[in-house]
Chain A
Amino acid sequence: MRYLAARLLLLLPTLFGVVTAVFLVIHLIPGDPVEAMLGETAVAAEKDALRRELGLDRPLLAQYGGYLAALARGDLGASISTRQPVLGEIAARWPATLELAVAALLLAAVTAVPLGVLAAARRGGALDNATLFFSLIGVAVPSFWLGPLLIIVFSIGLAWLPVSGREGIASLILPAVTLGAGMAAILLRLTRSAVLEAAEDDYIRAARARGLPEWRVYLKHALGNALLPVVTMMGLQLGALLSGTVITETIFSWPGVGRLMIEAIERRDYPLVQGCVLNIALCYVFANFAVDIIYAWLDPRIRLER
């Protein structure tokens, strides 16, 4: 319990770091939200007025202080381009992204881990080679190419699944496969290699020597040990997964936060970008917090150390 509390406390500096980093990055890169918003036909006086209204005329440090103070009150500010509260804008899009990311993660885990164990058990066999090929496709085919290919095969050719949009479970399948393919490939190879490594350990040899059937050896002992790196990888891949939603969401017309963030970056909509990044960072940080907890549970030594 104390470990839990201490670990939770550790999240604060990370979040503070992310907030500071995003503020600096977005304000240091060239571009002007007022220009982007008012368009070209506005005159200078109008732009100055809007800049004052948005507080963009203040020194950077004052803006940063104001942003932190508002954040402490739970206020993310209002989007510059739509004039709507950032929290509402993100809340409207977040469920779609979460749904997609979780589906992709689950899909990757349920295909990759069993296949990885099988590949390790049948090392060098036809199945092992087949999974190698499968994971190659997953890692080497960019999602912006894989997505349209899947649509052409499954939506146009076979007419089984919707082309794009977010309408029911069926529309989730292709985007989840597209987003999860890369992660599945990495997980598969990692599971295979971790299981093989564990299989060389003494206690597994002992289990084998005791006459346990091979599949039980792999399933119970080897997999148990292999889970540690696999779980780590899932946690740290989540960041890439959430960033990857930008492309998948674009291709499948998925109304998520990834697209919202890219549009906000283009418009230099500072509050909205900050909100999106903070949201993604929060999710990532909590997922890794969960990983750490699972870690401690899988490997009691880590808990004892602290």
Chain B
Amino acid sequence: MKRVIGILLPFWLAACAPAPPPANTLVIGVETGPATLDPRLATDAASVNACRLIYAPLFRRDEQMRLVPQSAEKLAWKDPLTCVITLRRGLRFHTGAPLTAEDVRYTLLSIVDEKSASPLKSSLGEVAAVDAPDPFTLVVRLKKPFAPFNAGLTFGIVPRGAGEELARKPVGAGPFRFISYEPGERLTLARNLDYMDGAPRLAGVVLKIVPDETVRLLELKKHNVHLVMNPITPAVLPWLAVQKGIVVKDAPGANVSYIGVNMRDPALKNSLVRRAIAHAIDRGAITARLLKGLADTTDTLIAPPNPFHATGLPQRPFSPETAKRLLDEAGYPDPGNGHPRLTLTFKTSKNPTRRTQAEVFAENLARVGIAVEIKSMEWGSFFGDIKSGNFQLYSLTWVGIADPDILHFIFHSSSLPPAGANRGGYANPALDRLLEEGRATADENGRKRIYDEAQRLLAEELPFVTLWSGRNVAAMDTRLKGFVIYPDESLDSLATAWLEGGD
């Protein structure tokens, strides 16, 4: 009997199996599905990445994080308050309707509208008026100069009049058009044959939602999935790299991990203590052994691939001796008998990678006499505590930092939550001045000088202990060609990538 079942079972199961996706359709294994497909409301990485495939922006960031025109042909500032954008000719939405300056105007206005819930609002500064004098020209007037404005023009363009239905039935002008979305299961896209840069070679893209990492990698091993991007546990990569038909690649990323410090804390407001912490943590050992070289240590939030990355900053090399000396100076001498000089609480999310890193930080800090109690919390509670300033130390990653104006949001004294993300309550008039100046300076070289100075100041003062910038990892089917890993994990290169033997 058992033997009969053993023989029949595979046949029966095979009969039930669904048809495989058409050849030349790329299947990407992703951890979570997009919450919304309306590019104006997208906040999470999954939504942002999916929207980039469906919608075309005026400008996009290339693999070096430079702004390059997409739907726009050129951009000119008539004066510091007036920006004139010229569109490419002959653009069409997936419905066949032409994409004109009116659509861009509608999209822009619906983002900056008073009642809009768009997270992109603050990236465009204070917009006074938007005009579309002809179908290919857009004129934006600002209330006051806002240098990061250009960087804000990367939003996806939606058809005029588009409302809430876009979240589930998106229409854009990007390289792929929407076919279907089964939340929790998959997002299916097909190539846009009328795409402005020519039809993609891939027939379609499927984002298959596989929440568990091990299962995601097993789906890749079975070639049910062609591409998996980070997070991938670094220790598993050597195993992955030797699997048949799979190749692993990595490239510098724009994400920076840091230890956040509460500047209101009596011990931590002392910069000597913060410097001691920076010297105590063995970043080299963690990046080399735990992260298997898939992270580059950095002393600033503006990661190495970014044109605004500052070099020659003050270094905090690993040195327990220096850390102990600094703690002595700060008034925390060694009490002896193995008692700690100082006890701190370290909050972290439930993410296993973060928990493990917190364990290493705690061990590193214990060596210099700082006892650390780890509190690993469910995300909502953790983030709530961080925002309300209810912490001493915590660790997080800033994702996809592009324009250096983000420093205003993180460190300006007016950016206390909920207005900004200055969660540690850092206040430095000199830095405030620099960040305001950076905002009002349009000249690129001038901006670079200002932000170099700001980064130097931050590395000196350490309101954050900056740790490393993670390298982006992609494990993919060897048949996938032409895929480029962008610093911000964008999937833009799928517009030109292809599956070998697929077409």
Q: Quick one: which of A251-276 are within 8 Å of B by CB?
A: 251-256, 259-260, 263, 265-268
Binary flags per residue of B365-399, CB closer than 8 Å to A gives 1, else 0? 00000000000001111011101100000000000
Q: Is the CB of B379 within 8 A of A266?
A: yes
A151 to B164, CA, bound (A): 40
A237 to B328, CA, bound (A): 59
- Cβ of A232 under 8 Å from chain B: no
A-chain residues with CB within 8 Å of residue B219 when the two chains form the complex: 163-164
Binary flags per residue of B99-140, CB closer than 8 Å to A gives 1, else 0? 000000000000000111101111100000000000000000
Q: Is the CB of A36 within 8 A of B383?
A: yes
A155 to B380, CA, bound (A): 35
Q: Is the CB of A41 within 8 A of B164?
A: no
- Cβ of A140 under 8 Å from chain B: no
Binary flags per residue of B387-431, CB closer than 8 Å to A gives 1, else 0? 110000000000000000000010000000011110000000000
Q: With A42-B121, A156-B222 in contact, do A166 and B409 touch (Cβ < 8 Å)?
A: no
Q: Is the CB of B17 within 8 A of A43?
A: no
Q: Is the CB of B35 within 8 A of A82?
A: yes
Other-chain contact of B185, A151, A162, A166, A268 (Cβ < 8 Å): A166
Q: Is the CB of A263 within 8 A of B421?
A: no
Q: Is the CB of B183 within 8 A of A255?
A: yes
Q: Quick one: which of B25-66 are within 8 Å of A by CB?
A: 32, 35-36, 41, 43
Q: With A156-B222, A169-B16 in contact, do A93 and B183 touch (Cβ < 8 Å)?
A: yes
Q: Is the CB of A163 within 8 A of B224?
A: yes
Q: Is the CB of B117 within 8 A of A30?
A: no
A75 to B114, CA, bound (A): 28
- Cβ of B184 under 8 Å from chain A: yes
Q: Is the CB of B381 within 8 A of A83?
A: no
- Cβ of A167 under 8 Å from chain B: yes
Q: Is the CB of B380 within 8 A of A268?
A: yes
By size class, the interface of chain B is 35 or more
Q: A30: nearest residue on chain B (CB-CB)?
A: B384
Binary flags per residue of A19-59, CB closer than 8 Å to B gives 1, else 0? 00000000001111001111111111011011001000000
- Cβ of A292 under 8 Å from chain B: no
Name the distance in Å between A55's Cβ and chain B's nearest Cβ: 14
Binary flags per residue of B196-210, CB closer than 8 Å to A gives 1, else 0? 000000000000111
Q: A161: nearest residue on chain B (CB-CB)?
A: B13
Q: Is the CB of A267 within 8 A of B419?
A: no
Q: Is the CB of A151 within 8 A of B215?
A: yes
Q: With A165-B208, A168-B17, A256-B184 in contact, do A82 and B36 touch (Cβ < 8 Å)?
A: yes
- Cβ of B335 under 8 Å from chain A: no
A-chain residues with CB within 8 Å of residue B420 when the two chains form the complex: 40
Name the distance in Å between B51's Cβ and chain A's nearest Cβ: 14
- Cβ of A63 under 8 Å from chain B: no
Q: With A43-B419, A47-B418, A266-B379 in contact, do A259 and B184 touch (Cβ < 8 Å)?
A: yes
Other-chain contact of A31, B168, B211, B384 (Cβ < 8 Å): B384
B-chain residues with CB within 8 Å of residue A30 when the two chains form the complex: 380-381, 384-385, 388
Q: Is the CB of B32 within 8 A of A32?
A: no
- Cβ of A170 under 8 Å from chain B: yes
Q: Quick one: which of B143-188 are within 8 Å of A by CB?
A: 164, 167-168, 182-185
- Cβ of B18 under 8 Å from chain A: yes
Q: Is the CB of B117 within 8 A of A92?
A: no
- Cβ of B23 under 8 Å from chain A: no
Q: Is the CB of A83 within 8 A of B384?
A: no
A148 to B378, CA, bound (A): 23
Q: B387: nearest residue on chain A (CB-CB)?
A: A35
Q: B120: nearest residue on chain A (CB-CB)?
A: A41
Q: Quick one: which of A223-242 are within 8 Å of B by CB?
A: none
A49 to B118, CA, bound (A): 12
Q: Can you report 14 A-B residue pairs in the complex whose CB atoms are below 8 A from each other?
A: A29-B380, A30-B384, A43-B419, A44-B418, A46-B117, A83-B36, A83-B41, A148-B212, A148-B218, A151-B218, A168-B16, A168-B17, A256-B184, A266-B379
**5 closest Cβ pairs, A-B complex:** A255-B184, A31-B380, A39-B43, A255-B185, A170-B13
Interface, chain B (partner A; CB < 8 A): 9-10, 13, 16-18, 32, 35-36, 41, 43, 114-117, 119-123, 164, 167-168, 182-185, 208-212, 214-215, 218-219, 221-222, 224, 378-381, 383-385, 387-388, 409, 418-421
List 17 other contacts, CB 8 Å, given A165-B208, A167-B17. A30-B380, A30-B385, A32-B387, A40-B409, A42-B119, A47-B418, A49-B117, A81-B36, A84-B168, A93-B183, A148-B214, A160-B10, A164-B218, A165-B210, A168-B17, A170-B13, A253-B215
